[in-house]
């Protein structure tokens, strides 16, 4: 459709408007706010789609003429197909209301439909939409402030159909419902994003299968072990009969040998008895010979004992005599030692006396030295006190203070010079004596008396006031106060005050110009006294580093020491301490001390030697006495033993008798000798019994093993059923798992396939549109976008930036206000152009691009121009558009080549 003309009467604020000869391309309807632009858009919407001629309600009320004249009337001439039509609607429920559809034939309008309802319906049919917000209008007719694209779910069905008819099917409703249901089913196994759910039936079945398999494996393990048990048992059962036969054979052999043993028992007993008899005879002979030998030895010992006792007694007596002699010698040595020690002690007493004298001499000398030092210290302290008093009585500033005072004077001099230079000089000369009061620079007035012809001058900084008695006042001053002079005067006064205060501190007269020189002299003197004072201090510190008190206490201590010595040795009170005398005494005493000590050590040594000799002799005596006692006891014992052993003759007879018995026993043994079989029968019998025992043990072990194995078998009762049940459970779990896995895989495959097919279809269908939008976006300077991602409804889900080409799409409305509007408009024009392939379409943009900067605005106008021209060569081809722009900023659209501009302010009659 292309709108050719508009005729509006009594519509909202518009009393009359006639717009003729509107063409394809761009039409700019300009006018300031409140001109009626939006009312005009509403008029087009209502006339073509939204209102019947007899409509009531808010939509119409909104457009009731402000003038109150006539019913609203709107006529729109439009081109649809190859024909031109005109729909005229007079909105009134009365008889004057009408809706008339006319068709242009040649240059004449012919009524096409005069039934109002039918005329309205037919118009909508021609325009392929029921409402002004449906069909292509949803994309291309934008009210003021409409920025973004419609939501996908709100896309008009007729528009979608139209897009499908041109672009092809994208995603059907059936597809979406299918996917929704598929997703629900998939939720049984998968989470969003396709990952397996932790508790999906597949996982649970896998766990169950693992658990069952574990149980089955355990049962199988038991079964395998049982199989081994069977094998072992079969081996045992095979081995048992031969083993029993072997036991039987061993028993027979043992029995046979036992019989043989019994048969030879008598002969073997006789032989054993003969052997024992011979043994006994040999033992008896040994004993008899032994007794005889002992008797002879005892006899010899009894003979020797008395001689030995006598010898030992003599020896002990000699040792006792020696011991007594040594005891006497030891006593005399002890007495000599006591004497030597007494003499040494007496000599020590004399040493103490000499030591006291030495102390007395040293203490007297030290005390004298200390007293001299104390006298010198006191002299020094007195000098220091005098010097400190002198310094105190002569105050003077330090170097800094002195410098500050000099600086004060320099600054004061400088300020004074400045003030003098800047000051006015007031000269007064009077012809006759006059008294006057003079006040300079706001100071207190002072009385001035001038004699005749006397001339006097004053300096004036700011102003001067002169009161002449009985005459009047003269005031003079600068036209503008010199603030800098006032500031200088204040500074000068402050400096003078500070100076006076400082000088008075040092008891000098501030007015005296030489006061500073005197203060400098004072300072020099003070500095010299200070040096002298510190010198004296150093001297004092050298003489008494720890203070005078310490020296005084030292004196007292030595005095006390001297008194103590005199008190202990009163004979020294009259003695004049003499160091050389003491030294002579000390040398003599030392020599004598050494002699006494050596003598005493020698005596001590002799005494110890005597004691050792005595102890040795006593010990020797004891040993001899013990030996003597032992010899006497031995002699007694030997005598007793001899008596006990009897006499030699009887012992000789016993030996002869034993020899005879032995000969007899040897003869008997020779008579009862055994054969080899008789000798070894016991041994062979033992071997046979051991063999029997071993075989019986083996048999018992095997029987025990069989019993153990049978117990194992008994303990595994039900294993057969348990294994069967475990295997059946695994089988069942595997089947269930296979089924569930297949189901899950089929659903996943379906879901994946659906997504990939949808993606490829969307890409194929909408790809060219996306390409066109991207190209246009780049041409207006939106270079940062890599992809416009379309969804299931021909509208973008979002856009992807170059920087995140693999990342998620950003919603267009999340971009800036201006960018969002520009991109949305490009999408609208691209889709609109595609739908206008066979029939031009009209876009009505009420105040578009309000948020676009001038540079982009200029570029986007070029897109408008391209869109209005369309291009059959594009893929998909685009038809021409008529773009009607309503704006209150006409200058923004000046650069639209070929656009037709209408000034609504002039055309609309209000």
Partner 1 sequence: MVSFFHTADLHLGMRVTRFNPETCNRIREARFIALDNLLKKAAELRTDFLIIAGDLFDDLEVDHLTARRAYEMLESVPIPVYILPGNHDPLMPGGVWDRPPWSNLTDKGLYLFRERKPFEVAPGLLLLPCPVFRRTSLNDPTAWMTECSASDSDIRIGIAHGSLKVRDDLPADDHLIARYAVDDYHLDYLALGHWHSRRSYPDQEGVERIVYPGVHESMRFPGSLDSRSGWVPYGGAGRQEFVDSGKGEVAHVRIRIKGSTPEVQPLETNHLIWEQEEKWELSSEEDLARLIQQVATRPDFDRRLLRLQLTGTLNATAMLRLDALRQILTDRYFFGELEETNLHVQPTDEEVREVAAQGVLARVLEVLEQEVNDQDPDVRQIAERAILVLYQIAKETK
Which residue from 725, 779, 862, 871 is in contact with partner 1, where contact means CB under 8 A?
Answer: 725
Write the CA distances from 468 to 40, 201, 432, 472, 588, integer angstroms.
Answer: 95, 126, 12, 5, 120
Q: How far is CA 346 from CA 237, 349, 598, in A?
A: 118, 5, 15
d(CA 425, CA 489) in angstroms, rounded, equals 16
Tell the smallest beta-carbon distance from residue 773 to partner 1 (Å): 23
Among 272, 707, 811, 897, interactor with partner 1 by CB under 8 A? 707
Binding of residue 157 to partner 1 (CB under 8 A):
no
Query: In terms of Cα–Cα distance, which of 215, 216, 213, 186 is closest to 202?
Result: 186
**What track of x and - describes contact with partner 1 for positions 171 through 200 (by CB under 8 A)?**
xx-xx-xx-xxx--x---------------
Complex with partner 1: residue 111 or 235, whichever CB lies closer: 235
342 binds partner 1 (CB under 8 A): no
Distances 28 to 11, 558, 604 between C-alpha atoms, Å:
21, 131, 150
- C-beta of 161 vs 280, nearer to partner 1: 161
Closest CA to 880 of 909, 851, 841: 841
What's the 3-state SS for 484-505? HHHHHHHHHHHHHHHHHHHHHH
What track of x and - describes contact with partner 1 for positions 229 through 258 (by CB under 8 A)?
-x--xx--x---------------------
Token duo for residue 220: 């199988």
Write out the DSSP string of 410-427: HHHHHHHHHHHHHSEEEE
Residue 728 is a binding residue for partner 1 (CB under 8 A): yes
| Nearest distance, CB of residue 222 and partner 1, angstroms | 10
Residues 535 and 540: their CA atoms lie apart, in Å, by: 9
Look at strands 900-903 and 25-30 and give their pairing: parallel
CA distances from 30 to 33, 38, 885 (A): 10, 11, 8
Report if residue 746 touches partner 1, rule: CB under 8 A: yes
Could you say whether residue 226 binds partner 1 (CB under 8 A)?
Answer: yes
State the Cα–Cα distance between residues 828 and 832, nearest whole angstrom: 6
Considering only residues 870 to 909 of the shown chain, the ones binding partner 1 according to CB under 8 A are: none
C-alpha to C-alpha distances, 64 to 16, 39, 116, nearest whole angstrom: 13, 11, 20
CB 867 within 8 A of CB 833: yes
Q: If you count them, how many residues does the chain have?
A: 910
Q: Which is nearer to partner 1, 309 or 729 (CB)?
A: 729
Which residue number, 723 or 809, has a Cβ lying nearer to partner 1? Answer: 723
Kindly state the smallest distance separating residue 213's Cβ from partner 1, in Å. 13
83/177 with CB nearer partner 1? 177
Closest distance between partner 1 and the C-beta of residue 153, in Å?
17
CB closer to partner 1, 468 vs 712:
712
608 vs 749 by CB, closer to partner 1: 749
Asked if residue 162 binds partner 1 (CB under 8 A), the reply is: no
CB of 833 to partner 1, least distance (A): 25
724 lies in the site for partner 1, by CB under 8 A: yes
Complex with partner 1: residue 83 or 753, whichever CB lies closer: 753
Minimum distance, C-beta of residue 186 to partner 1, in the bound complex (Å): 10
Task: Write down the least CB distance from residue 712 to partner 1, Å.
Answer: 7
Of the residues 152, 716, 779, 862, which one makes contact with partner 1 according to CB under 8 A: 716
Q: In a 10 Å sphere around its CB, with 0-12 CB exposed, 13-18 middle and 19+ buried, how is residue 344 labelled?
A: middle
Element (H, E) at 80: strand 73-80
Size of the site for partner 1 (CB under 8 A): 53
Contacts 24+ apart (CB under 8 A), 308-315: 308/631, 308/635, 309/628, 309/631, 309/632, 309/635, 312/624, 312/627, 312/628, 312/631, 313/628, 315/624
Site string for partner 1, 21-40 (x = CB under 8 A): --------------------
In the complex, what is the shortest distance from the CB of residue 149 to partner 1, in angstroms, rounded to a whole number? 23
Query: What is the enclosing helix (H) or strand (E) of 215?
Result: helix 201-263
CB of 234 to partner 1, least distance (A): 6
- Tell me the C-alpha distance between 600 and 367, whole Å: 41
Q: Sign of the C-alpha dihedral, residues 683, 688, 689, 690?
A: positive
User: Applying CB under 8 A, which part among 341-349, 601-609, 742-750, 874-882 lies near partner 1?
Assistant: 742-750
881-887 and 25-30 as β-strands: parallel, antiparallel, unpaired?
A: parallel
Residue 128 CB, shortest distance to partner 1, in Å, is 22
Q: Considering beta carbons, is residue 739 or 778 the nearer one to partner 1?
A: 739
**Both structure tokens of 461:** 């900084």
Phi, psi of 797 (to 5 degrees): -80, -25
The reply on whether position 152 binds partner 1 by CB under 8 A is: no
User: Using CB under 8 A, which of the segments 402-410, 460-468, 674-682, 710-718 binds partner 1?
Assistant: 710-718
Residue 432 in contact with partner 1, rule: CB under 8 A: no
Rg (CA), the chain: 76
Task: Please select the residue that binds partner 1; options are 761, 801, 837, 858, rule is CB under 8 A.
Answer: 761
Q: Which is nearer to partner 1, 490 or 720 (CB)?
A: 720
Under the criterion CB under 8 A, does residue 721 sit at the interface with partner 1?
yes
Task: Point out which residues bind partner 1 (CB under 8 A).
Answer: 169-172, 174-175, 177-178, 180-182, 185, 226, 230, 233-234, 237, 706-707, 709-714, 716-725, 727-729, 731-732, 742-743, 745-747, 749-750, 753-754, 757-758, 760-761
């Amino acid at each position: 459709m292309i709108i050719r003309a508009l005729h509006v009467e009594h519509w909202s604020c518009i009393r009359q408007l006639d717009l003729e000869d509107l063409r394809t391309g761009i039409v700019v309807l300009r006018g300031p706010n409140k001109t009626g632009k939006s009312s005009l858009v509403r008029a087009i919407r209502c006339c073509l789609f939204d209102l019947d001629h007899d409509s009531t309600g808010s939509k119409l009320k909104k457009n009731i003429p402000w003038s109150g004249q006539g019913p609203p009337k709107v006529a729109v001439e439009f081109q649809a197909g190859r024909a031109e039509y005109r729909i005229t609607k007079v909105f009134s429920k009365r008889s004057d209301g009408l809706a008339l559809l006319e068709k242009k034939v040649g240059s004449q309008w012919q009524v096409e439909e005069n039934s109002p309802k039918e005329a309205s319906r037919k118009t909508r049919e021609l325009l392929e939409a029921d409402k002004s917000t449906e069909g292509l209008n949803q994309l291309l007719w934008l009210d003021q402030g409409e920025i973004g694209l419609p939501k996908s779910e709100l896309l008009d069905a007729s528009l979608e159909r139209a897009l499908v008819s041109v672009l092809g099917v994208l995603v059907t409703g059936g597809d979406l419902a299918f996917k929704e249901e598929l997703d629900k089913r998939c939720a049984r196994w998968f989470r969003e994003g396709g990952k397996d759910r932790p508790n999906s039936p597949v996982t649970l079945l896998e766990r169950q299968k693992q658990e069952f398999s574990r149980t089955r494996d355990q049962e199988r393990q038991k079964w395998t072990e049982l199989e081994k048990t069977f094998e072992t048992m079969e081996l045992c059962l095979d081995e048992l009969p031969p083993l029993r036969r072997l036991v039987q054979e061993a028993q027979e052999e043992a029995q046979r040998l036992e019989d043989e043993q019994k048969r030879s028992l008598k002969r073997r007993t006789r032989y054993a008895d003969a052997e024992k008899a011979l043994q006994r005879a040999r033992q008896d002979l040994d004993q008899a010979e032994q007794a005889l030998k002992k008797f002879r030895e005892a006899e010899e010992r009894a003979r020797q004992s008395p001689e030995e006792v006598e010898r030992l007694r003599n020896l002990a007596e000699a040792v006792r005599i020696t011991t007594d002699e040594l005891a006497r010698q030891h006593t005399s040595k002890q007495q000599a030692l006591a004497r030597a020690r007494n003499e040494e002690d007496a000599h020590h007493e004399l040493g103490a006396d000499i030591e006291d004298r030495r102390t007395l001499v040293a203490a007297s000398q030290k005390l004298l030295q200390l007293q001299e030092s104390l006298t010198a210290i006191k002299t020094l302290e007195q000098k220091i006190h005098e010097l400190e008093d002198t310094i105190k009585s002569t105050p003077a500033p330090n170097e800094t203070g002195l410098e500050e005072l000099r600086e004060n004077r320099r600054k004061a001099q400088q300020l004074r010079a400045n003030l003098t230079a800047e000051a006015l000089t007031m000269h007064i000369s009077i012809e006759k004596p006059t008294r006057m009061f003079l006040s300079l620079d706001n100071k207190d007035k002072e009385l001035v008396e001038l004699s005749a012809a006397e001339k006097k001058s004053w300096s004036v900084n700011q102003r001067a006031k002169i009161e002449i008695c009985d005459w009047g006042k003269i005031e003079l001053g600068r036209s503008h106060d010199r603030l800098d002079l006032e500031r200088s005067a204040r500074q000068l006064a402050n400096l003078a005050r500070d100076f006076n205060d400082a000088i008075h501190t040092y008891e000098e007269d501030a007015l005296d110009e030489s006061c500073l020189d005197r203060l400098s002299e004072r300072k020099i003197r003070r500095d010299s006294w200070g040096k002298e004072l510190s010198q004296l201090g150093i001297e004092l510190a050298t003489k008494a580093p720890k203070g005078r008190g310490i020296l005084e206490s030292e004196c007292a201590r030595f005095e006390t020491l001297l008194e103590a010595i005199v008190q202990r040795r009163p004979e020294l009170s009259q003695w004049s301490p003499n160091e050389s005398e003491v030294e002579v005494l000390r040398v003599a005493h030392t020599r004598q001390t050494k002699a006494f000590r050596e003598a005493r050590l020698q005596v001590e040594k002799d005494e110890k030697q005597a004691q050792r000799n005595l102890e040795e002799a006593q010990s020797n005596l004891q040993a001899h006495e013990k030996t003597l006692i032992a010899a006497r006891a031995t002699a007694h014992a030997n005598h007793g033993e001899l008596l006990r052993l009897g006499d030699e003759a009887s012992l000789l007879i016993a030996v002869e008798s034993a020899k005879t018995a032995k000969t007899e026993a040897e003869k008997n043994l020779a008579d009862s000798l055994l054969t080899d079989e008789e000798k070894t029968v016991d041994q062979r019998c033992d071997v046979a019994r051991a063999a029997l025992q071993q075989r019986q043990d083996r048999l018992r072990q095997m029987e025990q093993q069989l019993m153990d194995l049978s117990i194992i078998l008994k303990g595994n009762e039900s294993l057969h059923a348990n294994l069967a049940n475990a295997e059946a459970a695994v089988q069942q779990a595997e089947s269930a798992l296979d089924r569930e896995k297949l189901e899950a895989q089929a659903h996943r495959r379906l879901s994946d396939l659906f997504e990939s097919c949808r993606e490829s279809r969307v890409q194929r269908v909408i790809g060219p549109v996306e390409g066109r939008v991207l190209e246009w976006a780049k041409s207006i300077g939106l270079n940062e976008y890599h992809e416009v991602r379309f969804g299931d409804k021909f509208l973008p889900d979002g856009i992807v930036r170059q920087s995140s080409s693999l990342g998620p799409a950003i919603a267009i409305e999340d971009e800036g206000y201006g960018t969002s509007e520009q991109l949305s408009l490009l999408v609208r024009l691209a889709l609109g152009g595609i739908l206008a392939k066979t029939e031009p379409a009209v876009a009505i943009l009420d105040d578009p691009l309000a948020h676009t900067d001038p540079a982009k605005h200029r570029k986007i106008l070029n897109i408008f121009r391209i869109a209005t021209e369309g291009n059959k060569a594009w893929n998909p081809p685009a038809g021409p558009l008529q773009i009607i722009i309503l704006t209150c900023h006409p200058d923004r659209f000046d650069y639209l080549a070929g656009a037709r501009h209408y000034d609504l302010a002039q055309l609309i009659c209000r």
